[in-house]
Amino acid sequence: MLFNKREVQTLTKWFRENIKDNGKVYTLDKDQAKIVLDSHKNVLVTARAGSGKTRTIVAKVSYLITHEKIDPREILVFSFNRKARMEVNERLAKISYRDKLIFDEIPAVATTFHAFAYNMLGGKDSIGDKIISEAEENKILADILKSKKTDADTLITMKEIESVKQFITRAEQQFFKDYHQLDQKIEQLESEDMKQVLHFLKEVMDEYHTGLRKMSKINFNIMISQAAHDLGKSCSDETVKNIKYIFVDEYQDCSQFRPLL
């Protein structure tokens, strides 16, 4: 969507006159103003680090709430981690419109994919202690790796465990719909040595998943995939049914299945 110079100037002037960030005038450059004005259904913003992407998201959310009169409950911002989530919410808490704060307290507009999936699946009441702890996960993997050693007295190092966990995490994020695709990818490799290593890791992953099921446990990737599956079946859940505007901060850091939420 193209905006003429007058439209951009009008918006930046409106921000200067109406919006303040912690008591200071909220200024936007012309590119940020264009993003705030853009009303396309899908908008991808590509910009260098430190260019103000998060600031622009905060500006867009503030504009929707104050100028467009959108209910904050209809807006959702996905942040990369808890620290980024807190930053967005705390920055929104400092935004004022015509010298009045737009929120009475720190809002929950921003969340993480993990927190969103957790709440969507029922939170503590439904999930409880089903999410496996790091210690439990390490023990499962150590036991699996030890069972595959020819020398039963050989110690399993944390480096080995972490390497396996990295493989499992990436495999779960890329092939969560069909792990047979992973087998096919491995078979397409030219290096027989690499095939052997990856088939071994895939075998460990399968046993790991079996161990989780026996313990009635899930990990964070499984939790997100379950939420994505449920969301695909129905949008009646209170967590999502009212959401009309979704923003993703640091979209490039998302795995393949997080956008499904």
pLDDT tens, position by position, 139-166: 999 999 999 987 766 789 999 999 999 9
φ, ψ (nearest 5 deg) of residue 147: -65, -20
- Same domain for 161 and 243, yes or no, is no
Write down the pLDDT at residue 261: 44
Same domain, 23 and 97: yes
**Structure confidence at residue 58 as a pLDDT band (50, 70, 90):** very high
Q: Do 120 and 71 reside in the same domain of the chain? A: yes
pLDDT of residue 237: 57
Residue-range definition of the domain harbouring residue 107? 5-124+238-260
Percent of the chain topping pLDDT 90: 67
Q: Is residue 165 part of a domain?
A: yes
Instruction: Tally the domains of the chain.
Output: 2
> Which of the pair, 28 or 176, is modelled with greater confidence?
28
Amino acid 120: pLDDT: 86
CB 15 within 8 A of CB 59: yes
Residue 219: which of 253, 168, 179, 175 has the closest Cα? 168
CB atoms within 10 A of CB 249: 20
Q: Is 195 inside any structural domain?
A: yes
User: What tokens were used for 62?
Assistant: 């503030």
